[in-house]
Amino acid sequence: MVSATTSRRIAPLTLRLATGEHQIDPPVVLAPMAGITNAPFRTLCREQGAGLFVSEMVTARALIERRPETLRMIAPGPGEWPRSVQLYSVDPATMRAAVTMLGKENLADHIDMNFGCPVPKVTRKGGGAALPYKRRLFTSIVGAAIEAAKPFGLPITVKMRIGIDSDHETYLEAAKSAADLGVNWVALHARTAEQMYEGKSDWSAIERLVDHLKPTGVPVLGNGDIWSGADAMAMVEQTNCAGVVVGRGCLGRPWLFNDLVASFRGANVKSLPTLHEVREVMFRHGQLIVEHFESEDRGCRDLRKHMAWYLKGFRVAGPLRRQFGMVSSLSELRALLDQLEDQPYPNAVGDMPRGRTSHGRPVTLPQGWLDDPDELAVVDLEDAFSGG
């Protein structure tokens, strides 16, 4: 079931591909999420409408070493285009080699660079949201990617956080540096690494970044606390950002993209699927993920984490809910789904936060990391991230 009212239309976002300018209409991007945004999940989200859908983050080193799981992670789903890959590295030479590989072998149409990960196992070695503090290193890595991408016409974008903490904000300087080097856009998750996913994101930071980059002509995308189409419209209206990046809001709700598409095209739509409608999305997700991993056991194990998100707010008996969390085959999934009694969408919790809700905590950094922001430090980080 869908309800709708009208609002203003949001202009598309231009991505300069090797084949020419591509209009992202509406300007909605699926955020790369480790262990989540694999090809099956991207397919579910793509089926809900236009936009751009970025792969899980992969390390540049794992890519150039051709690790099988990394190559699987960047493989597009059927008909997926443009092919967007998020890369991660702390070494300019490794980043250059990875971008060159993607270009030479025609493995991507767009490359996003991660400078926003707040996970301690990454920041403790100077990566993710910690890295922009080392401004020379940040500039070297972004510059290496852009230079390597030029012969292949691959657009480069960056995603970052406000900074390490409120005393070490880096987003304005880092974003300006990236814009001057020639990135296609800058996406800002409006929290610091210290905040993790706690509290409310600071949309005023997005507005400040929009004003800061206005002279460069480089657009800003906003990220943080978009749980509905109305939230996305509110972010655009409050910050003047050119588009939005959506992460946790679509967990267990790939149909959120239908709402976002409609809202940005002038209709404030809110999808309210019944439980029987949701269960068919769950089964399709299961089929796609088993096909992707070419293993029913592995696919179902990967699917388990999505079950609670899909069922959030619905009345499901405890024992049955626990069985969903242990599902091991498509036939078992079908049998469990068929036991669900239909009921209306739980509107009261439908737009509430979901996914990671880590409490804020001091950021773990290498010893002496904050001593000299101009130090051109290259830290062996790549294997610290287990996601590929």
Q: Calculate the alpha carbon distances from 210 to 57, 114, 155, 188, 213 in Å.
A: 25, 19, 20, 10, 5
DSSP 338-349: TTPPP----HHH
Query: Does the annotation mark 117 as catalytic?
Result: yes
> By the 8 A CB rule, do 324 and 278 touch?
no
Q: How far is residue 229's CA from residue 226's CA, in Å, rounded to a whole number?
A: 8
Q: Give the HSE-up count for residue 282: Cα atoms under 13 Å, Cβ half-sphere.
A: 33
CA 378, distance to chain mean position in Å, is: 25
Nearest Cα neighbor of 39 from 255, 251, 293 is: 293
Query: Strand, helix or coil at 117?
Result: coil
Q: How far is residue 245's CA from residue 30's CA, in Å, rounded to a whole number?
A: 6
Label residues 95-107 b or e (16+ Cβ within 10 Å = b): bbbbbbbbbeeeb
Residue tagged active-site, from 45, 117, 241, 250: 117
> By the 8 A CB rule, do 226 and 28 touch?
no
Q: Calculate the alpha carbon distances from 156 to 3, 15, 78, 313, 323 in Å.
A: 37, 9, 23, 39, 43
Nearest-5° Cα angle at 45, 43 to 47: 70
Nearest Cα neighbor of 112 from 42, 29, 12 is: 29
> By the 8 A CB rule, do 131 and 91 touch?
no
Cite the active site residues: 117
